[in-house]
Structure 1
Amino acid sequence: MVLAFVIVLRERQLLKTQLLTLLVILFLPSQVLAQSTADLQDFNSAYLEYANTRNSNPDLAREAARRAYNIGRRIFGEANERIAMLAINYAILLTDETESQSVLDEAVTIYQEIFGFGNEAMIDPLSNLGQMLADFDRTHLASQYYVRSLELARTHFGEDSSKVGAIYLELGAVALRAEQFDTAHSRITDAREILYSSTDPAARSNLVRADLLLGDYFLKTRQYEQAIEPLLLSLESLSRYPNADITLRNRIALIEAYENLGRSEESTVHCLFIGASRAFRGNERLQPLYTVVPDVADFTGISDQRDDLRIAFTVDEEGFVRDPVVISSIDSEI
């Protein structure tokens, strides 16, 4: 095994050196000695371009990922975990789902060659692949790989294992994102049932997330009363981390449920907690925690002409708007 370093010689590239070095300090097989320095440089150039443009310029990132994948195969060989990851990077950026799945299956084939077909060690790579696809909103493909991971987890750990419960939970989250509400409810409730009976720390953490997802399901399907119980259960565990983003999202979900039920006093409690956890900076743009969309039926017969208004108001200690006054308007009659 040889530890290969790519040295950046040009002064104008100094700012990139640290990232580049992290990307290319790799334990390479001995056949790399036969590869030219140009291959290594081309690989690192392509990978760095992919990493820098993945979020800002998907077209450019896709071409860079393709180059890194093809060059990497020459450098590292076919049956290598790095090649599987390079294939996944490229496949996720492909817009054609059939082509994308073909490249993803190449990655899975590599994992199978390394770990063995149907081996327990395949569970996590398949789940990780599902997670990466879900992060890019490729929900259909994400579900397929999660299902394959689920089948292996059932075989190796049993139907009631926390590993199976965790994968059910991910399938529920993907279905909820895709607005497949019946499937989401089924998967999430299956996960909760399994995780509730498990005592390992990972299962307890996943149970909290299951409660949050179930609450989110009820909100999305406008079952506001049913949303409160699971959201309060998750908050019991998360309240020990009052400033965490997930805790604030939990409280915002409860605000939505209470406001839709006309229970503003209970909603205010969570507004105050959020206000206490986040100090306001003078140049910060305030964002509403919850907004109400007016019922258009209330405006029947009213002109649809639009005018600009400037309104002054007072926000009291509990966050309520008081004493609104119109201070300017295009329409002088208002």
Structure 2
Amino acid sequence: MKTILRLSIAAAFMTHVAFAVPTDIDGFSQAYQQYNLSVDSNNNQDTLKYAQQTYALGQVKFGKDSLDSGKLAINWANALVNESKRNHNGRIIEDAATLQAQKLFESALRVYRNNVADNDIALIDPLVGLAQTTANDKYAKDLLFEAISAAEKADNLLTVAEVKLIAFHRLSGTEYYTRTVRSFVMDANDIYVNKLPENAIKRVNSTYLVGALYAAMNRPNDATPLLLEVIKQYQALPYSHPYELHAHALLVTLYEQQGKSNKATEHCVAIGKMTPWDDQQEQTPLFRKPPNYPRSYAERGKDGWVQVEFTVDEHGFVKSPEIIDSKGGYQFERESIEALTQWRYAPKFVDGKPTSAKSKVQLEFTLG
């Protein structure tokens, strides 16, 4: 199976569509009513069932080339996409459901193009849906740029922001991830800052994305206040959001890179409080400095590995590293100890308080 998207992004904007149906001789009204009820109650299986049923009945009732049939195609396609995401941990995978959804979005787009003007905002639904389900990255880019143009022409800023974020996620990791696409996140965040309250989830999420981009661009002064704002907003929620965790982790790296270990500590502790410690597995470092490869060993093509046991103290610092086993020579051991003393971890929590705990790691030294 081919992964089309690694991140779960917004589905097309249309969920309910309205029809003026005076009679129900053909059963359409009843099926459509059941579809709406299943959407409202989050009954995924019934939503899929009745979306397919209303699409089949609607084609007969309204005609295959009618705008109503196009809307019903989008409803069924969205239900199929949601089903695929539920089966694959929130990702859209190129499976049978997604391929069927793609055909429906293609059909809907043809109908829409025949019934609405170019750049009409109504085109956004099939354009975005098809971009999400096609495996053709260039085609997805063209569809999303057309959707952005339609939103901008309608002067609907919140929709512009939404579609730009969808385009950013869909095109990230492809050859079409350009500076223009990267700037979509900044554009969306500017719109949300002006249009939404500071605690609106869409605004906080876009703030995180901008902060993460600045961190990746090695712009700590720009990234840090944004990530701190994300943490502030999500701490007010009664649950932990993944972006809150990621923001803490990014701040650990940013502060350590600047030599500000004391500032990194509060974020190490915060992550430790949010994530369970497993004594049976190797812990994942929040900040990792790779060991230097001994030059004399590299010149001789020598490789090896080093196993080290150490203590992660209540502040997430590495203490008392000890060699358990190694292969390759003493210099590998020395470089491993030197590197590990600069790593940072999330401390173990016991009864709501950070405490010291043992951990271990194996460092590999391999050329090429």
TM over 0.5: yes
Contact residue 175 and residue 183 of structure 1 kept, 8 A: no
Among all aligned residue pairs of Structure 1 and Structure 2, give the percentage whose two residues are the same amino acid: 21
Equivalent in the alignment of 1:2: 27
SS at 1:157's partner residue? coil
Report the equivalent of 1:223. 219
Deviation per residue, 1:239-276 (Å, 9 max, x gap) = 22362212111212222222222222222211111111
Corresponding residue for residue 234 of structure 2: 238
1:214 aligns with 2:242: no
Q: Which amino acid in structure 2 is aligned with residue 252 of structure 1? A: A
The answer (yes or no) to whether the contact 1:309–1:328 under 8 Å persists in 2 is yes
Aligned to 1:154: 152
Q: Which amino acid aligns with 1:233?
A: E
Aligned to 2:284, the other structure's residue is in SS state coil
Deviation at 1:189, TM superposition (A): 2.6
- Report the secondary structure of 2:191's partner residue: helix
Q: CA RMSD for the aligned pairs? A: 4.1
Change in CA separation of 1:293 and 1:165 when aligned onto 2, cut-off 3 Å: same
1:59 Cα offset (Å): 11
The SS at the match of 1:255 is helix
2:289 to 258, 278, 292: 292
Distance 1:127 1:23, change over 3 A: closer
Please state if 1:192 is matched with 2:217: no
Unmatched runs of 5 consecutive residues or more in structure 2: 1-25, 32-42, 61-79, 334-368
Structure 1: unaligned runs, 5 residues or longer: 6-17, 33-46, 70-84, 89-103
- Which residue matches 2:103? 87
The 3-state SS of whatever aligns with 2:303 is coil
CA contact (8 A) 2:302 2:328 kept: no
Q: How many residues are matched?
A: 265
- Answer yes or no: is the 8 Å Cα contact 1:173–1:213 preserved in 2: no
Alignment counterpart, residue 29 of structure 1, candidates 48, 57, 60: 57
Q: Is the 8 A contact 1:216 1:253 kept in 2?
A: yes
How many Å separate the matches in 2 of 1:206 and 1:86?
27
Q: Is 1:312 aligned with 2:337?
A: no
In structure 1, distance between residues paired with 2:204 and 2:94: 39
What is the CA deviation profile of residues 57-97 of structure 1, one whole-angstrom value per residue up to 9, with x for unaligned ones? Answer: x99946x877xx5xxxxxxxxxxxxxxx3516xxxxxxxxx
- Tell me the equivalent position of 1:121: 122
Q: Deviations over 1:174-201 (max 9, x none)?
A: 4554474522443233223322221379
TM-score by length of 2: 0.58
Residues 256 and 173 of structure 1, relative CA distance in 2, 3 Å threshold = farther
| 111-120 vs 241-250, greater mean Cα deviation | 111-120
User: Are 1:263 and 2:260 an aligned pair?
Assistant: yes
Q: Is the 8 Å Cα contact of residues 312 and 318 (structure 2) preserved in structure 1?
A: yes
Find the residue that maps to 2:229 and give its secondary structure. helix
- Change in 2 beyond 3 A, CA 1:121/1:201: farther
Secondary structure of the 2:126 match is: helix
Which amino acid letter does the alignment assign opposite residue 151 of structure 1? Answer: S
Give the C-alpha shift of residue 117 in structure 1.
5.3
Residues 87 and 279 (structure 1), Cα distance of their counterparts in 2 relative to 1, 3 Å cut = same
CA contact (8 A) 2:106 2:130 kept: no
Corresponding position of 1:97: none
Deviation per CA, 1:309-330, whole angstroms, max 9, x where unpaired?
Answer: 3322111111211111113334
Tell me which amino acid in the other structure corresponds to 1:301.
Answer: S
Q: 1:174 to 1:225 in 2, by over 3 A?
A: farther
**Structure with a larger share of its residues in helix:** 1
What SS is found at the alignment partner of 2:319? strand
Q: Which gives a bigger RCO, structure 1 or 2 (Cα 8 Å, sep 6+)?
A: 2
Moved more, 223-232 or 22-31: 22-31
Q: Contact conserved, 2:255 with 2:261, CA < 8 A, in 1?
A: yes
**Are the structure 2 counterparts of residues 185 and 261 from structure 1 closer, same or farther at C-alpha, using a change threshold of 3 Å?**
farther
